[in-house]
A and B are shown apart, each in its own frame.
Chain A
Amino acid sequence: MSFSARFSQLNIDDLSMKLYASTPADVERALQYPSGNLSSLMALLSPAAEAYIEQMAQAAAQITRQRFGANLGLYLPLYLSNLCANECDYCGFSMSNKIKRKTLNDDELLAEVDIIKSRGFDSILLVSGEHETKVGIEYFAHVLPQIKQHFSYVAMEVQPLKTDEYQRLVALGLDAVMVYQETYQPQTYTKHHTRGKKQDFIQRLDTPDRVAKAGVDKIGLGVLLGLDDWRLDALLMGYHLDYLERHYWRTRYSISLPRLRPCTGGIEPKVLLTDTGLVQMICAFRLFNQQLDISLSTRETPELRDNLLPLGVTQLSAGSSTQPGGYQQPDSQLDQFEISDERTVAEVIAAMKTRGFNPVFKDWEKAWGLNNANG
């Protein structure tokens, strides 16, 4: 049993109609019973909820404070490779983009790790393009132990793998896997993914199930907001989250809310997600799920990121590079996406502290790194 079976039962057009037909009364009821309730999530994501945004923000901030205190986790992405065998029109690494392709060797990897460590980070997100043969399970199994020596928490955002491959990586120290569906609308998905294995919508959709069965600590979901109707995509991501939490209840979950940004050879968003919409989404998800990690990348401007901090964000990156070897040799041409917050870690931390938040670099002890495989 996996999510694609549940997904096929959903009538997306029907959900869309109901979402847009949500009334102020629906929003008010949702605000009373938001937690774990998909129809509440729908109302909170609807246009009708915009009028309640301050109330949503207050409630979301309170829940986040109660659950997470004033802690904000800091992590950094480490790009292992930009080789890619997919054609995705929104991404700088798309296979037909003429950029210099690079995969880090052991020395280059260590050099990146040293820089990241020198900045104080202890939680790392390994990222690569999706190239099964040249940057596949053997490469990951090779680099992971080297990296795990240096960081308490290691997450990966790479191509979908098989359950036994995930199990192998968990045994080597993998803590979390991020796999973003990009969009939950199959037709839009097809339009943007024109070559390579990423074209397989269902295989990607079922990836979190395979990851959960391998016993990781955390699974990250996400949609690329702007590819399609963001309200509907967010709602469907909510269905995905709900399903996963019910079936793999020992696993933790996070979501990421990347908005489509300019990149080399990139595209314009189909539906614009305004700052108000982004705030609404963060608050809606926090109200829907009190324990969800919500991650904010450097795609957004410093000002906006700082204002989003109280609303439900629990993880953020700072001083990121989105290209392989980018910490040693920054060169914006190779970036996967354009970075808007270019502040250093020190600057981001200072901004956090003035707003009453604690930066947390380490919240995980590898000595207790036992498997927690879901039955």
Chain B
Amino acid sequence: MLTIADHQFESRLFTGTGKFTNSATMLASIEASGSQLVTLAMKRIDFKMGLDDLLSPLQSRGVKLLPNTAGARNAKEAIFAAELAYQMLGTKWIKLEIHPDPKYLLPDPIETLNAAQVLCEKGFIVLPYIHADPVLCRRLEEVGCAAVMPLGSPIGSNQGLATEAFLKIIIEQSSVPVIVDAGIGAPSQACRAMEMGADAVLVNTAIASSANPILMAQCFQQAVQSGRKAYKAGLGAVSHNANNTSPLTGFLTTRKVS
């Protein structure tokens, strides 16, 4: 069971709702993935297009909604977006994402920390999306974030765990759940993140842009479950060759031991 703030999740696979061909596919994929938390964005209503009712089907499945602040370019806008999300959906859970860089969509650490501090003080359950910076993760934890969401690689890139070495440090040092978010492109990568000890992963593009999203969603579910179990079972020792250097403890037997 994964506990984040006051909520418990059986599934450690979180999914995004973006980039699907249509709502029906999106909903079916989420179902297939077993995900209990999905992210949503917010936009000004386009009255000509009308509203696409995403929410009722999701809510009727008991899936937790995590609105994000995508579109915000700085802390002020992100804070505004969080308040908007609260009014819209009645939840104080918020995925804080501030990426002013339109090419790589990399998160702004300074705006994110500032926004996190303000939002945590206002009682929001903040899940910040950031680069895999261990010190930044500590700072976010200090201001009260409920989890940290370090990226594996740029959003939508499917490059996998480019930040693996740093994710390990974050996982080692964090007292709040670590959710690897962004860039996971294959089930094996999600499995790897879980084997390393991540508490959860968030996958969107890899499922949505697959030729068969529903099947891919199932694969991710299995991969996350497998990786988590492997982590709990304890991975076996990797053997290395012995180093032939001078012995360091020979003195213990060659002299009179006190």
Which residues does A use to contact B, with CB under 8 Å?
28-29, 31-32, 35-36, 53-55, 57-58, 61, 246, 249, 274-276, 279, 301, 303-304, 307, 310-311, 375
Q: A54-B247, A276-B257 are in contact. List 15 more A-B contacts (CB 8 A).
A: A28-B237, A29-B234, A32-B238, A35-B172, A36-B173, A54-B248, A58-B245, A61-B248, A246-B173, A274-B258, A275-B257, A301-B258, A303-B251, A310-B248, A375-B142
Bound Cα distance from A61 to B233, whole angstroms: 30
Q: Mark interface residues in B226-258 (1 if CB within 8 Å of A CB, else 0).
A: 000000001011100011010111011001011
* Contact residues in A for B248 (Cβ distance below 8 Å): 54, 57-58, 61, 310-311
From B234, B238, B249, residue with most partner A Cβ within 10 Å:
B249
- Provide the bound-state CA to CA distance between A279 and B247, in Å: 13
* B175, CB-defined interface residue at 8 Å: yes
| Residue B73 at the chain A interface, CB threshold 8 Å | no
List the 5 shortest-distance A-B pairs measured between CB atoms, nearest first: A57-B248, A32-B237, A307-B251, A57-B249, A36-B172
CA distance A303 to B251 in the complex (A): 9
Chain B's closest residue to A246 (CB) is: B175
* B64 in the interface (beta carbon within 8 A): no
**Chain B positions 144 through 182: 1 when the CB is less than 8 Å from some CB of chain A, otherwise 0:** 000000000000000000000000000011010000000
* Partner pick for B252 among A36, A275, A310, CB 8 A cutoff: A275
Query: How distant is the Cα of A31 from the Cα of B255 in the complex, in angstroms?
Result: 27
A28 CA / B234 CA spacing, docked (Å): 13
Quote the shortest CB–CB distance from A301 to chain B (angstroms).
8
Q: Across the two chains, which residue of chain A brings its CB closest to B236?
A: A29
- Return the contact of B255 from the options A55, A274, A303, A310 (Cβ within 8 A): A303
A57 to B238, CA, bound (A): 19
Summarize B's interface: helix, strand, loop or mixed: loop
Known interface pairs A249-B173, A274-B257. Does A279 touch B252 (Cβ–Cβ under 8 Å)? yes
What range describes how many residues of B lie at the interface? 20 to 34
Q: Quote the shortest CB–CB distance from A188 to chain B (angstroms).
A: 23
CB distance from B147 to the nearest CB of A (A): 16
Beyond A36-B172, A275-B252, A276-B252, whether A249 also contacts B247 by CB under 8 A is no
Q: DSSP majority for the A interface?
A: helix
Interface CB pairs A-B, < 8 A, 7: A29-B236, A32-B237, A58-B243, A246-B175, A274-B257, A276-B257, A311-B248
The reply to whether A53 and B249 form a contact with Cβ atoms under 8 Å apart is yes
Identity of the chain A residue whose Cβ is nearest the Cβ of B243 in the assembled complex:
A58
Residues on B with C-beta less than 8 A from A32 are: 237-238
* A249 and B138 contact, CB distance less than 8 A: yes
CA A177 – CA B141 in complex, angstroms? 27
| Chain B residues, CB < 8 A from A58 | 243, 245, 248
A61 to B255, CA, bound (A): 21
When distances are taken between beta carbons in the complex, the residues of chain B under 8 Å from A29 are 234, 236-237
Residues of A within 8 A of B234 (CB): 29
Give min CB distance, A372 to chain B, whole Å: 13
Contacts of A36 in B (CB 8 A): 172-173
Contacts of B258 in A (CB 8 A): 274-275, 301, 304
Residues of B within 8 A of A53 (CB): 249, 252
- Per the bound structure, the CA–CA distance linking A215 and B248 in Å amounts to 38
CA distance A36 to B171 in the complex (A): 11
How far does the Cβ of B122 sit from chain A's closest Cβ, in whole Å?
A: 19
Chain A residues closer than 8 Å to B238, beta-carbon distance: 32
On chain B, the residues within 8 Å of A303 by CB distance are 251, 255
Q: With CB as the reference atom, state the residue of chain B lying closest to A60.
A: B248
A300 to B, closest residue via Cβ: B258
A275 vs B255: C-alpha distance in the bound complex, in angstroms?
10
Q: CB-CB < 8 A to B245: which residues of A?
A: 58
Query: How far, in angstroms, from A274 to B142 measured CA to CA in the complex?
Result: 43
Q: How far is the CB of A248 from chain B (nearest CB, A)?
A: 11
